[in-house]
Structures are given as structure tokens and as C-alpha cells.
Amino acid sequence: MRKNIKLSMNVIMNIAMAIAMSLTADLMHKGLSSRTLLMMLLGFVVGMIPSFFIPYDRMSAKLCRLLKVEKSRVLSHLVATLPPAVIQTLIISAVMTAVNVLPHSMSLNIYLTAYVQTTPVMILVAYVVALAVNPIAIRLIMGKQSAVDEN
């Protein structure tokens, strides 16, 4: 059951982050296009893959304990959301930058410049989106879970 909750949470978070990151990147560079939808799909798929291997929940819990914020709901939410948002953004941004840059230029320098210029904004956007979506996702999943438990 815990794996289903974790998977549901990852799906909801990755959908929100992929949409936000794709829209932000396109608005920063060339504006929205039909390719934006493709980038949203790519961002979602790329974001889901590490979700199966990286224990974000344990990382977040350890960070909260390390910073001694587990007793405060607000602070623990702010701190616990940081690892998944940052790690997912670094991975998704690396792939999306490669897809956008490398077909036009095989220069590593141009790729790294584009990655460094875009990624800090993406981290901020993903963090804010994750902060907003996380409680909504928990309510959706736990509401669904309690309905299953009652039957």
C-alpha cells in the first residue's frame, strides 16, 4: 500500500513540475509553442524515472532531523520539499536542455551555458510548485486512501 501512495504522490508532483518547468523554460526563451506539450511529456517521463530509485521521502526526513525542524509543520514542509524539488529539477533540466540545445549545436560550452542560465530559475519554480502541490496531493491521495480503507 505504501508503494501505491508513494507512486501516486510522485505522479502528481511530476505532472505539476513538468508543466511548470516547460512553461517557464519556453517563456524564458522563445515563447509557447506546440513543442511545449512535448516538453511537458518529456519532463514528466524523465522526472518519473529517478522517482523509482531515489528515496526522496527518507532524504527529506533526514534533512528535517538534521535541521531539527520536524516538530514544526510549516518548517518541516518547507525543508522536506527541497530535496525532491532540487534533485528532480537538476535531472529534468539537464535532459530538457540537451533536447533543446544539442540538435542545434554539439558544443558542450553552449549546453552548459544554457543549463546554468536556466536551472536556477527552474529550481525556484519547481520548489514553489512543489510547495503548493504537495499538500493538495496528500489530501487527494489520503482522501482516496481513506475511502479505500472504509470499504
Render pLDDT for 76-114 as a digit per residue (tens, 0 to 9).
Answer: 889 999 999 999 999 999 998 888 887 777 788 888 998
pLDDT at position 34 is: 79
Which grid cell sits at 80? 522536506
Q: What is the mean pLDDT of the chain?
A: 85
Beta strand spans in the chain (E)? none
The pTM score is 0.82
Average pLDDT estimate for 114-140: 91
- CA-nearest of 120, 92, 80 to 22 is 92
Q: What percent of the chain has pLDDT over 90?
A: 36
| pLDDT greater at residue 68 or residue 143 | 68
Residue 118 dihedral angles phi and psi, to the nearest 5°? -90, -35
